[in-house]
Structure 1
């Protein structure tokens, strides 16, 4: 287990039109993943990230090649509706960069999921006082 305060961090980043987005970074500063959406407020962003952390066990991650032939991953949360035709799973995160090999991309997925797990454990233990950014 990493030392207190030495684990992954969720960071708030500026986006277009005065919106915000997030990135998950490892303790060494390497980006593990980034959010797909931009949010209008910090409260909206924090709520989306809380949902991601709480629902992380339901994430479905896909690996594929980009137009540039690099391997990338995308994480999806299932739609929360029992209505027929409610829609597909919603993309919530993606790789922060492209990978040369599929196995490197899969390792990137595993690093992202492990980072979410670590942050979830920190929040349960009361680490970082439950305040954004985590």
Structure 2
């Protein structure tokens, strides 16, 4: 007797986050994460030399998203901003030079708003990972 497959997992109702490629100086590329309403949630903290390098960094970000460490600072205009750091690994080159992988796309007036921005970023990453897993699009860009 063959098993009848159930319905495919469905994306939560509403428009979800979008991951966008961002062209930097020269041939460098980065990414930006936008909420369903178009508001920018986060940006890559660095630019990458190729699309494959960018996809590898995004894959690592999604895999390590539960272990990210966040730092909150005020910039010169006194706006609150956050940066996300990958957990330390001995396999990464120059582990002493800790570099953020993501940062807030904008500044916030208050620290609690900045913390909410981190929660929106984390929710966006979870939604992206869910979409990639359920649609079979893992490893393909753009997402």
With normalisation by structure 2, the TM-score equals: 0.84
2:30 matches 1:21? yes
Q: Partner of 2:132 in structure 1?
A: 123
Q: Partner of 1:59 in structure 2?
A: 68
In 2, are the aligned partners of 1:61 and 1:73 still within 8 Å (CA)? yes
Distance in 1 separating the partners of 2:98 and 2:53: 20
In 2, are the aligned partners of 1:79 and 1:87 still within 8 Å (CA)? no
- Could you say which structure has the larger radius of gyration? 2
Query: Structure 1: any 5+ residue segments left out of the alignment?
Result: none
Residue pairs, 1:101-120, within 5 angstroms: 101-120=110-129
Give the secondary-structure state (helix, strand or coil) at the position aligned to 1:16: coil
Alpha-carbon distance, 1:111 to partner = 0.2
Residue pairs, 1:1-134, within 5 angstroms: 2-3=12-13, 6-81=15-90, 86-87=95-96, 89-126=98-135, 129-130=137-138, 131-134=140-143
TM-align CA RMSD: 2.0
Shift of the 7–115 alpha-carbon distance from structure 1 to 2, 3 Å rule, reads: same
Query: Structure 2: any 5+ residue segments left out of the alignment?
Result: 1-10
Larger relative helix fraction? 1
